[in-house]
Structure 1
Amino acid sequence: MQVTTGATGGAAQTGYRWYVLAILTIAQTCHGIDRAIIGLVLQPVGQEFGLTGAQLGLLAGVAYGVPFALAAIPFGYAVDRYNRKTLMTFALSAWSAATALCGAVTGFWTMLAGRAAVGVAEAGGSPTGMSLLSDYFGTDKRSTAIGIWYLSSGIGTAVAFFVGGWIVVEYGWRWAFVAAGIPGLLLAPFLFFTVREPKRGQQDAAQDQSDAPLTERLRLLFARPGIGYAIAAITCIATGIYGMSTWLASFLVNSHAFSLPKAGLVVAIAYGILGSVGGLAAGWGADRINAKRGGFDPAHTVFLASAIPLLTAIAGLLAVSADDASLAVAFLMVAGLLSASYNGPVYAVIVTVAGPQLRGLAVSAVQMSANLIGVGLGAWLIGKVSDMVGGKDGVAWGIGTAMLFCLAGGTLLALASRQIKKSNQYRS
């Protein structure tokens, strides 16, 4: 199978595709803010409602991740069959409203319901956005485009922890939720009225249309080389990265006596600013390397990406084991820089190998597994280990345990590379 490398016509040949990328990146930034804000307010929420570390871990992880996972496959199926602009507008409006309503909760169970609603709606964000982008950008720019789109994760985290930290101090944690939900509600009309639905598959080699039922489409998807390993890898990485980013502010407060605004600033810089820089650089670098090698090579691209979670785990382990606060922060900056860097290259491989008729389902399958196991397990695991160890370094032990999953993720990406290479189907 030959992989196309350029724009093939229509809006994709103009600067309009970059406008679409900007709008979708801002929408996904709202996704990042609304997902991350819970990590900032864990301590004040726990104090107000008298919650344990495990309960807070459930709110940060399972309450969001399980509903997200249950909604992911239905959303992915819809993305491959229906108007994606409409789906994206609906999802953006719903998760933003649900986030704002979290400011009115009265205890553990109402907060759990609010986070579940956010999770269900946000399940539509990634598969819809990535499917749209794949029809605006060919494989020659796809890693770069997805890398730029994944700036949203870092920017969202930075806004949530930096601006949110100020709001929590000045107005309380409830207003942080309200403020987090407003941008998405304002953006939704712009997305609906200014983004055009592109022709599906216009950037890829022609493939047969498939009207097969969901079970058959899933079978076809997992028959594609490297897909199973890639999904397992991202699930493991999400366990470590999301768990760590969610509990970092609590780690700095507990282990190094940081104030909450100061801890939020560190997380904003590490996982926000530096995370964005790393993600953009990795996506652009993957496209540059492929161009010099004669075209997009999925096997080589995912092999290069496999080193990133391994290095992230090393930096994370060094950060939580450091006695000196300055040294811990320095290693956290390295971990933050690397944390999102695998996204552009790996997702470019996934949407290319899956093809235009299955890529919505492919991204949803990744998101389902990553959120059901990764996000759900990561935040809860750290909270549980923290309760078991106790003391000021309990969270540090929890984060260290979660980093082991990043090591597994890097190994699985290397196996994905090997399987794709053996198939010999995707060399341009």
Structure 2
Amino acid sequence: MTIVSPAPKPVSTSPRGTAPPPDARAWYVLAALCFVYVLNFLDRQLLSILAKPIQDDLGVSDGQLGLISGLYFALFYCFISIPVAWLADRTNRVRVLSIACALWSAATVACGLSATYPQLVLARMTVGVGEAGGVPPSYAIITDYFPPGRRGAALGLFNLGPPLGQALGVAFGASIAAAYSWRQAFLVLGMFGVAAALIVWLTIREPKRGRLDAPPVGATPAQPAEAPAQAKAGFIETVAMFFRRPALLLMALACGATQFVTYAVMNFTVLFLMREKGMSLQQVAVYYALLIGIGISIGMYASGRLVDRFSGRSKQAYALVPALGLAGAVPFFVGFVWAPGWQLALLLLIGPTILNYFFLSPAVTLVQEEVRPSQRVLSGALLLLVMNLIGLGFGPTYLGAASDHFRTAHPGNSLQLAFYTLVPFYFLAITLFLALARVLEGEANRTGDH
């Protein structure tokens, strides 16, 4: 087979903003990795999209759904990602990504074959194991195909994977489930993922680590940046570096608080709209799918462009862009939860759908820019470990438990009351991003990098 993306030639490293523009190979790689990310998130979100028919078939409660989509999944996804990322930093990142994609896709098929709740739990945990090897290697591969000054936009485009994955999951998953059954949706979409893994294996070549980075301070033409870029960073060294640096740790914690809200909302919105707002599965497949696909995509891409534009003037942009987005989302979120019917609820949901997702592109770009090339996969995995363990692990788990708690006294609107309790977590996330802005300002003042 003809290789679509030949191994890129080494490029002379250059200061921020002066590297050659990305070529056709880079754009193909970005498109292919974004497609894999779409499948990653699509497979991950199928459970929440098909929550009601799964509840009807297997007889599980909101709390059990929260555990299987939250804590059980996150424990495997987060902790397996660390050794996988360490391996990817030392070996071929494209191969690691391909194998991971094949594994989570096969596990998605197994979800569709599950006859009991314990079987579904086991299959979902295996999906988490596979997806642990998906995103961190992709971050690092993209960073080695796109130069500084272009990475925020590139990673913003890559981060369209979650909204597109969720939108396609809603559209196709709900449509297949409405026409056939929820099991068929898992089977069909899982098989697409296996095919995508093969495409990545055959058509993408591993880029040279750090080939587009600016040379370190003091480097000479006779001793360019390649030596530090190629040096293999130790596992303990990278972990210690990440958690010692206040900017990286605060970014991870702020993203975790944000994802506590976003994952809780994401995993229960379809059930909320159907059970308490009166939407049908067919209406969800059209209207909610369009809202998610367009809204989150705008938030991901716009925030990436904003940090590319403003981070050159001040690194505080990495923190202020997410903080302002979350502050603007709060009133719309409260209105969405309050709305008496699904039409008004969807209209008000546009605001949070866009603004809730102003955090991810700035977070990924900051981490990838701030660490050595040989530490990028593991550092990206550590970012995901903190934010997903907090957000994915506890957000859906908390919301499902809160809904079960309110159901005794308020059986008709238990999810509505549970959604209201997420508002304080918005303000926690905003506070953490503002603290990060102060840290970034202090670092800039010490180094003279304004």
TM-score, normalised to structure 1, is 0.93
Query: Judging changes above 3 Å, is the alpha-carbon distance between structure 1 residues 418 and 230 closer, same or farther for their aligned structure 2 residues?
Result: same
The answer as to 2:202 corresponding to 1:193 is yes
Give the structure with the higher percent helix: 1
Task: Identify which of 28, 34, 41 aligns with 1:32.
Answer: 41
The answer as to 2:354 corresponding to 1:354 is no
User: 1:57 maps to which residue?
Assistant: 66
In the alignment, is the contact (CA less than 8 A) between 2:233 and 2:374 conserved in 1?
A: no
Q: Give CA-to-partner distance per residue, 1:119-172, whole Å, 9 cap, x none.
A: 111011111100101111122111100110011111000010111111011110
Between the aligned residues of both structures, percent identity stands at: 27
Q: In 2, Cα distance between the equivalents of 1:88 and 1:297?
A: 34
Report the residue type matching 1:410 in the other structure. Answer: I
- Which runs of 5 or more residues in structure 1 are unaligned? none
In the alignment, is the contact (CA less than 8 A) between 2:318 and 2:363 conserved in 1?
A: yes
User: 1:89 maps to which residue?
Assistant: 98
| Structure 1 position 345, deviation (Å) | 2.0
Task: Identify which of 393, 406, 414 aligns with 1:376.
Answer: 393
SS in 2 for 1:80: helix
CA RMSD of aligned residues (A): 2.1
| Structure 1 position 372, deviation (Å) | 2.1
| Structure 1 position 227, deviation (Å) | 0.4
Task: Identify which of 149, 153, 159 aligns with 2:168.
Answer: 159
Report the residue type matching 2:144 in the other structure. Answer: D
Q: In 2, Cα distance between the equivalents of 1:388 and 1:380?
A: 12
The answer as to 2:94 corresponding to 1:77 is no
Q: In 1, Cα distance between the equivalents of 2:133 and 2:423?
A: 28
Task: Identify which of 380, 394, 417 aligns with 2:414.
Answer: 394
In the alignment, is the contact (CA less than 8 A) between 1:313 and 1:404 conserved in 2?
A: no
Larger Rg: 2
Report the residue type matching 2:57 in the other structure. Answer: E
Equivalent residues, number: 421
Write the mapping of 1:210-221 to structure 2, written as runs, cut at 5 A.
Answer: 211=232, 213-221=234-242
Report the residue type matching 1:279 in the other structure. Answer: M
Q: In 2, Cα distance between the equivalents of 1:339 and 1:304?
A: 11
Report the residue type matching 2:430 in the other structure. Answer: G
Task: Identify which of 106, 111, 124 aligns with 2:120.
Answer: 111
Q: In 1, Cα distance between the equivalents of 2:191 and 2:246?
A: 41
The answer as to 2:26 corresponding to 1:5 is no
Q: Give CA-to-partner distance per residue, 1:12-41, whole Å, 9 cap, x none.
A: 752210111000100101111011111111
In the alignment, is the contact (CA less than 8 A) between 1:32 and 1:156 conserved in 2?
A: yes
User: 2:433 maps to which residue?
Assistant: 413
TM-score, normalised to structure 2, is 0.88
Task: Identify which of 253, 256, 275 aligns with 1:254.
Answer: 275
In the alignment, is the contact (CA less than 8 A) between 2:255 and 2:359 conserved in 1?
A: no
Task: Identify which of 321, 326, 335 aligns with 1:318.
Answer: 335
Query: Judging changes above 3 Å, is the alpha-carbon distance between structure 1 residues 356 and 313 closer, same or farther for their aligned structure 2 residues?
Result: farther
| Structure 1 position 79, deviation (Å) | 2.4
In the alignment, is the contact (CA less than 8 A) between 1:98 and 1:114 conserved in 2?
A: yes
User: 1:142 maps to which residue?
Assistant: 151
In the alignment, is the contact (CA less than 8 A) between 2:306 and 2:321 conserved in 1?
A: no
User: 1:223 maps to which residue?
Assistant: 244
Query: Judging changes above 3 Å, is the alpha-carbon distance between structure 1 residues 392 and 270 closer, same or farther for their aligned structure 2 residues?
Result: farther
Q: In 2, Cα distance between the equivalents of 1:411 and 1:79?
A: 34
Q: In 2, Cα distance between the equivalents of 1:362 and 1:410?
A: 23
| Structure 1 position 192, deviation (Å) | 1.3
Q: In 1, Cα distance between the equivalents of 2:374 and 2:423?
A: 35
Q: In 2, Cα distance between the equivalents of 1:179 and 1:426?
A: 54
Q: In 1, Cα distance between the equivalents of 2:147 and 2:439?
A: 23
Report the residue type matching 2:442 in the other structure. Answer: K
Task: Identify which of 282, 297, 300 aligns with 1:279.
Answer: 300
| Structure 1 position 261, deviation (Å) | 2.4
Query: Judging changes above 3 Å, is the alpha-carbon distance between structure 1 residues 212 and 188 closer, same or farther for their aligned structure 2 residues?
Result: closer
Q: Give CA-to-partner distance per residue, 1:276-302, whole Å, 9 cap, x none.
A: 122112212332344xxxx36432232
User: 2:354 maps to which residue?
Assistant: 337
